Amino acid sequence: MESASALFTLIIALPLLGFLINGITGLFVENYRTKKQLIGIIANTAVFIPFVIAVYFFLNMNSGSEAVVYKLFTWMEAGSFSVDIAYRVDQLSILMTLVVTGVGFLIHLYSMGYMADDEGYWKFFAYLNLFIFAMLNLVLGNNLLLLFLGWEGVGVCSYLLIGFWYTDMAKSDAAKKAFIYNRIGDFAFLIAMFMVFQTVGSLSFDVILGNLDAFSSEYIFGIGLLMFIGATGKSAQIPLFVWLPDAMAGPTPVSALIHAATMVTSGIYLISRMSPMFVMSPEVMLIVAVIGALTAIVAATIAITQNDIKSVLAYSTVSQLGYMFLALGAGGFTAAMFHVVTLAFFKACLFLGSGSVIHAMHHVEHELEHDGKDVHFDPQDMRNMGGLRKYMPS
């Protein structure tokens, strides 16, 4: 048990360590910023090792395994109120951990080439590691407060990454828009947490889900609805979906990370984790299903009118998330989580592939300028991308 606990601690600690090494050293040691290969290796290792450990835990888990809680320390204590820094390993959390670390590692690897010429290389990888750390706290936390810290952490990191090229006002505004829209949902989630604590005196999942009889039907409806509003913010559902297409302003690896492996799946995870409470309110389940179906249709319709390659992928992501909420509302929690896993991989591939195409289109524009041709076009406009199979066979 002690060896398993030590191994598990590395899953949480290594991404934080990667952030601290690259972030602090890059901030204070100017020569370190030029050692891009070392920076990339540290950042990638900080995510790859947790992925390998997560695979080990996954392979040693069967369908009948009970949840195992690893308590690191007591964070705060006041009277009967106590919050532990404790992490929960069960089928749901380890599945999400595999997605976050597995897809996250591939995005880190891709970023080494994509961001190679950027002056803020060290800062970018520090932010990526911090993002992974926050997401792991969200999916592995054994109580709502630790989940909420991870929830806010990915919100802050998305702000930093979407606005990474902050000297461009359009990109800076997109980051602020994402941050503000998410705060609307987060406020609702926070109220739901207060209502839960008022009823059972704890934020631990075991206590909450083990004492559902203590909640009145009105409280179940209110808490479920407020948590769903929080989920609509993070997972970009109507009416809080408008920030996600603007999140394309960040570097392409950021788009892949936010849209595929991390932030947008947070709301799906929250409802899946609290599913025993949600199923006690058919009204909330109906609202979840209707909003999900509406989002799927509206976002897909918007996507087919777009010309920007990343905008198409952004709206298609919103549509796919709508399908997941529809599945959740219909009680298909397993189906929703299955789609989370499939989306993480195929959407990450689509975004990273689009990044390669955009890079190539930039190169075409520069070559035309070099040849003395005064031709300017949007490298992300799909109308300029005919015949790519011939010119970009690999």
- As given in the structure block, the two tokens for residue 383 are 């109308």
Residue 74 phi, psi dihedral angles, 5° rounding: -85, 120
Task: Give ∠ CA 310-315-321 in degrees, rounded to 5.
Answer: 125
- Residue for token digits 């929830």? 151
* Residue 307 CB neighbours (<10 A): 12
Q: How far apart are CA 298 and CA 304, in angstroms?
A: 10
Please, where are the H alpha helices in 163-204? 169-200
Q: Indicate the residue type of 232.
A: T
| Helix, strand or coil, per DSSP, at residue 74 | strand
**Run of H or E residues at 89:** strand 81-89
Cβ atoms 262, 131 nearer than 8 A:
yes
- As given in the structure block, the two tokens for residue 15 are 């991404």
Q: How far apart are CA 255 and CA 319, in angstroms?
A: 16
Q: How far apart are CA 162 and CA 176, in angstroms?
A: 9
DSSP-derived secondary structure letter, 377: -
pTM > 0.75: yes
Cβ atoms 316, 323 nearer than 8 A:
no
What number of residues does the chain have? Answer: 394
pLDDT in tens, the chain (394 residues): 677 888 889 999 999 999 999 989 888 888 887 888 899 999 999 999 999 999 999 998 877 778 888 888 888 887 777 788 889 999 999 999 999 999 999 989 988 888 888 888 899 999 999 999 999 999 999 999 999 999 999 989 989 988 888 888 888 888 888 888 888 899 999 999 999 999 998 889 999 999 999 998 999 999 999 999 999 988 888 888 888 878 877 787 887 777 666 788 899 999 999 999 999 999 999 999 999 999 999 999 999 998 888 888 889 989 999 999 999 999 999 999 999 999 888 888 888 888 888 877 777 666 666 666 666 677 777 887 777 777 666 5
